[in-house]
């Protein structure tokens, strides 16, 4: 595994990030622990989670469960915590009170301390804002993050689901405070969903931030979905609708992957690794097989200019703003 810098930082991470959202709701704890052990064995040292992970719907668990599963894995020792670059998130509601959510200084403090306890660690490598809080001024947010850095509870700050102007605003105010600001942005980004190319990706490049794409396979759309349906595997209802809407593109994509001699999932992940500012797509395996399959091939797969042009032809992207919608 060849490690890369996270954006402009000196932090070295694997070019694939292990997403843990399935740990708890869909993956039993023992299996999750085995997957994390295997990820480290394969050289994947970048793990992503969130304080909200662990609950799907109203009855399948509770918020914080995923962090607890990771914490119990760290507690097994063997250098597990020291080997992992750990990212978690703050923003979503973690209780019924009016201050149990958002990015107020109070909630950031309490949420961070709760995450540290669940994760059984004394620091978080990358503390990510899961969403923009339009009701809290940046001066307050940065004051809270600066305090956590001083206390050694977090090392870097990242964002998730920000617009380009949010990234610019946040970093400019951080600069005024002589604070490092945002080092990464976690965004929805894949061949079929390329909206961030208008302003988010250029903003990340300008500020030296690493892009961490979530849903890199479009929820399964880019993972050989037609082949799987043909084999009798049932697609989720929402995915089935997308398949019908984009069938011509998916057929062209899977046919091209066949020409390349590559699995669609590997090609989709490899394409992201060729994109400017992308550090590490998040892979969220539910099973060991999903971890050790096409994901690892993506790291080795080099797409030439012809292949990249063909993928752009099948899945058209965006120009940077304002050229995308103006002259």
Residue 39: CB atoms within 10 A of its CB come to: 24
Q: At what angle do helices 164-176 and 200-207 cross, to 10 degrees?
A: 20
Residue 323: CB atoms within 10 A of its CB come to: 10
Distance from C-alpha of 114 to C-alpha of 119, rounded to nearest angstrom: 9
Distance from C-alpha of 27 to C-alpha of 124, rounded to nearest angstrom: 23
3-state secondary structure of 14: coil
Place of tokens 């091939």: 297
Q: Is 53 a catalytic residue?
A: yes
Distance from C-alpha of 207 to C-alpha of 247, rounded to nearest angstrom: 37
Instruction: Evaluate the omega torsion of the peptide bond into residue 308 and state whether it is cis, within 30 degrees of 0.
Output: no
Nearest residue to 63 via CA among 35, 24, 104, 17: 24
Residue 292: CB atoms within 10 A of its CB come to: 15
At residue 26, φ and ψ (nearest 5 deg) are: -120, -20
Distance from C-alpha of 69 to C-alpha of 272, rounded to nearest angstrom: 29
In 3-state terms, the chain is what percent helix, strand and coil (to 5)?
45, 15, 40
Q: Which residues are catalytic?
A: 53
């Amino acid at each position: 595994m060849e490690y890369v810098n996270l954006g402009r930082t000196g932090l070295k991470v694997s070019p694939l990030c292990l997403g843990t959202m399935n740990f708890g709701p869909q993956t039993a704890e023992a299996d999750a622990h085995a997957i994390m052990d295997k990820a480290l064995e394969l050289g994947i040292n970048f793990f992503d989670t969130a304080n909200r992970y662990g609950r799907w719907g109203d009855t399948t668990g509770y918020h914080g469960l995923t962090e607890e599963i990771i914490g119990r894995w760290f507690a097994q020792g063997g250098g597990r915590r020291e080997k992992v670059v750990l990212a978690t998130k703050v923003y979503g509601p973690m209780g019924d009170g009016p201050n149990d959510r958002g990015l107020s200084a109070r909630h950031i403090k309490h949420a961070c301390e709760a995450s540290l306890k669940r994760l059984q660690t004394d620091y978080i490598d990358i503390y990510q804002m899961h969403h923009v809080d339009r009701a809290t001024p940046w001066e307050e947010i940065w004051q809270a993050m600066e305090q956590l850095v001083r206390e050694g509870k977090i090392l870097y700050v990242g964002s998730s689901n920000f617009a380009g102007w949010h990234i610019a605003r946040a970093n400019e105010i951080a600069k005024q405070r002589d604070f490092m600001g945002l080092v990464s942005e976690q965004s929805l980004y894949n061949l079929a969903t390329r909206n961030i190319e208008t302003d988010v990706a250029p903003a990340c490049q300008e500020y030296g931030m690493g892009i961490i794409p979530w849903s890199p396979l479009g929820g399964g759309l880019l993972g050989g979905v037609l082949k799987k349906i043909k084999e009798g595997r049932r697609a989720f209802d929402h995915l089935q609708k997308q398949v019908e809407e984009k069938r011509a593109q998916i057929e062209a994509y899977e046919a091209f992957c066949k020409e390349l001699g590559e699995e669609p999932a590997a090609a989709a992940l490899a394409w992201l690794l060729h994109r400017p500012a992308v550090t590490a797509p998040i892979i969220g395996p539910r099973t060991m097989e999903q971890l050790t399959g096409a994901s690892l091939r993506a790291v080795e797969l080099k797409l030439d200019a012809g292949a990249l042009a063909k993928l752009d032809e099948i899945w058209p992207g965006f120009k940077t703003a304002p050229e995308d919608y103006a002259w």
